[in-house]
């Protein structure tokens, strides 16, 4: 019992000293299993061994590889989408240029057609005016010819009436016949 009392007294002394100097007493060593650092090291070693045993690094590697493949696939899809978008943009730009060229062609064709139609209309108008002028000249010539004919007819009638009157008053029958024959001859020459 004395040994037990001695140990208890010594422990009390060490505890009072630790409290007094705020830590373990120098020169007094504590057993390794009483140190918390030892148990933390043991726990960490067990944890690392458990992780290796369960193959957590391999699972993490597979997860990282799968994630890397997923990212690579997404990047490839994004690259393809970008190429498709660029091809589609180029196609739309080409279609826009073709539409502009076609519109310009239609505009040029419409302008040429309008110029041709204007030229045809001017030619048709000039031809119509020429036709009407020719018709008017024909009518004038016809009216002139009709007027000349009427004047001749009236002149013939007056001449005939005057000749009759003169013949009846002054001429003998033989002279009258000669004058009538001469007037008929002159009239034929004037009519031809």
pLDDT digits (tens, 9 = 90+) for 68-122: 999 999 999 999 999 999 999 999 999 999 999 999 999 999 999 999 999 999 9
User: Is the domain of 44 the same as that of 105?
Assistant: no
Q: For residue 61, is it within any domain?
A: no
Q: For residue 97, is it within any domain?
A: yes
Structure tokens at 189: 């020459």
User: Is the domain of 28 the same as that of 118?
Assistant: no
97-125 per-residue burial string, b: 16 or more CB within 10 A, e: under 16: eeeeeeeeeeeeeeeeeeeeeeeeeeeee
Coil, strand, or helix at residue 27?
Answer: coil
Q: Read off the pLDDT of residues 19-63 as tens digits, 9 standing for 90 and up.
A: 555 555 555 567 777 778 888 999 999 988 887 887 877 888 888
Q: For residue 63, is it within any domain?
A: no
Q: Work out how many domains the chain is built from and give that number.
A: 2
Q: What is the distance between the alpha carbons of residues 127 and 135, in angstroms, rounded to a whole number? A: 12
Domain encompassing residue 85: 69-191
Q: For residue 64, is it within any domain?
A: no
User: Is the domain of 80 the same as that of 174?
Assistant: yes
Q: For residue 151, is it within any domain?
A: yes
Q: For residue 172, is it within any domain?
A: yes
Q: Read off the pLDDT of residues 102-114 as tens digits, 9 standing for 90 and up.
A: 999 999 999 999 9
User: Is the domain of 46 the same as that of 98?
Assistant: no
Q: CA separation (Å) from 152 to 58, 149, 179?
A: 137, 5, 19
Q: What is the distance between the alpha carbons of residues 115 and 188, in angstroms, rounded to a whole number? A: 59
Q: For residue 60, is it within any domain?
A: no
User: Is the domain of 85 the same as that of 152?
Assistant: yes
């Amino acid at each position: 019992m004395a040994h037990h009392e001695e140990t208890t007294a010594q422990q009390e002394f060490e505890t009072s000293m630790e409290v007094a100097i705020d830590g373990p007493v120098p020169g007094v060593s504590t057993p390794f299993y009483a140190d918390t650092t030892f148990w933390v090291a043991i726990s960490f070693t067990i944890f690392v061994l458990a992780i290796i045993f369960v193959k957590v690094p391999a699972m993490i590697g597979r997860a990282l590889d799968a994630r890397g493949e997923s990212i690579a696939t997404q990047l490839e899809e994004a690259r393809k989408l970008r190429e498709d978008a660029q091809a589609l943009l180029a196609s739309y730009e080409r279609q826009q240029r073709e539409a502009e060229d076609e519109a310009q062609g239609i505009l040029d064709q419409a302008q040429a057609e309008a110029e041709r139609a204007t030229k045809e209309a001017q030619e048709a108008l000039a031809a119509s005016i020429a036709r009407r002028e020719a018709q008017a000249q024909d009518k004038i010539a016809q009216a002139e010819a009709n007027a000349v004919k009427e004047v001749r007819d009236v002149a013939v009638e007056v001449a005939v009436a005057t000749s009759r009157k003169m013949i009846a008053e002054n001429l003998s029958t033989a002279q009258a016949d000669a004058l009538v024959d001469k007037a008929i001859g002159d009239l034929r020459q004037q009519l031809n």
